[in-house]
């Protein structure tokens, strides 16, 4: 019994010495590392003011291969978004994608009359051309609205959208399958 106690004490002392040695090595290595000189990174080329202002936006367009939305990430000058970012994003959607694998989703000849942000809801006033096209079907109509919604809610202040046609509320697409009576939120 006495021999077992002695062996246990020896093991405990060896463990304490082992842990102390490891601690000493770690502390000693950290001291050596802190005295080393760290060189500053110098870029090969100076970054211009224009490059500093670049930001990425995500636009949603129709995928040419499937009947679903796909994203186009576009690098733009952040100054373009200073005055009225909501209007600018919708204008990009109306203009269409730069990627050949995507198609414009906003109906042709649609004009953006104006936008107004009120308590987190973005009121978007389009020309009548937005709803004129016949037989689009519910799926395409939903994709159009989803494209607009997903694009503008990137802006923290936008929680939902309300679509107006020539300033009038409650309009609908020509086939009557999708209307704009309610505020549309992202789900």
The domain segmentation of the chain, as residue ranges, is 49-185
At 132-166, the pLDDT tens digits run 988 888 889 999 999 999 999 999 999 999 999 99
Whole-model pTM: value is: 0.71
**What local confidence, expressed as pLDDT, does residue 8 receive?**
78
Per-residue confidence (pLDDT) for residue 133, from 0 to 100: 86
**Three-state DSSP state, 78:** helix
Residue 135 has which token pair? Answer: 């037989």
d(CA 184, CA 187): 9
Q: What is the mean pLDDT of residues 18-43?
A: 66
* Confidence band of 100 (pLDDT split at 50, 70, 90): very high
Q: How far does Cα 160 stand from its chain's mean position?
A: 16
Tokens representing 115? Answer: 């936008």
Here the contacts of 78-84 (C-beta below 8 Å, separation 24 or greater) are 78/53, 78/54, 79/53, 81/55, 81/57, 84/115
What is the per-residue pLDDT across 55-97, written as a single tens digit (0 to 9) for each?
A: 899 999 999 998 899 999 999 888 888 889 999 999 999 999 9
Q: Which of 86, 67, 103 has the alpha carbon at shortest distance from 149? A: 86
- Is the pLDDT score of 30 beyond 70? no
């Amino acid at each position: 019994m006495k021999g077992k106690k002695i062996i246990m004490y020896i093991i405990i002392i060896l463990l304490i010495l082992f842990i102390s040695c490891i601690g000493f090595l770690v502390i000693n290595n950290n001291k050596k590392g802190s005295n080393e000189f760290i060189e500053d990174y110098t870029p090969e080329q100076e970054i211009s003011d224009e490059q500093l202002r670049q930001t990425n936006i995500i636009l949603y367009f129709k995928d040419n291969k499937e009947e679903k939305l796909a994203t186009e990430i576009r690098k733009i000058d952040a100054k373009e978004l200073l005055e009225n970012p909501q209007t600018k994003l919708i204008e990009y959607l109306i203009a269409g994608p730069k990627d050949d694998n995507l198609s414009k989703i906003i109906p042709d000849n649609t004009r953006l009359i104006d936008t107004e942000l009120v308590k987190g809801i973005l009121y978007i006033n389009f020309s009548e051309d937005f709803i004129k096209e016949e037989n689009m079907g519910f799926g395409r109509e939903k994709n159009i609205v989803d494209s607009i919604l997903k694009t503008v809610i990137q802006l923290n202040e936008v929680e939902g959208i309300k679509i107006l046609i020539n300033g009038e509320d409650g309009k609908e697409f020509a086939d009557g399958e999708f209307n704009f009576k309610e505020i549309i939120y992202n789900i």
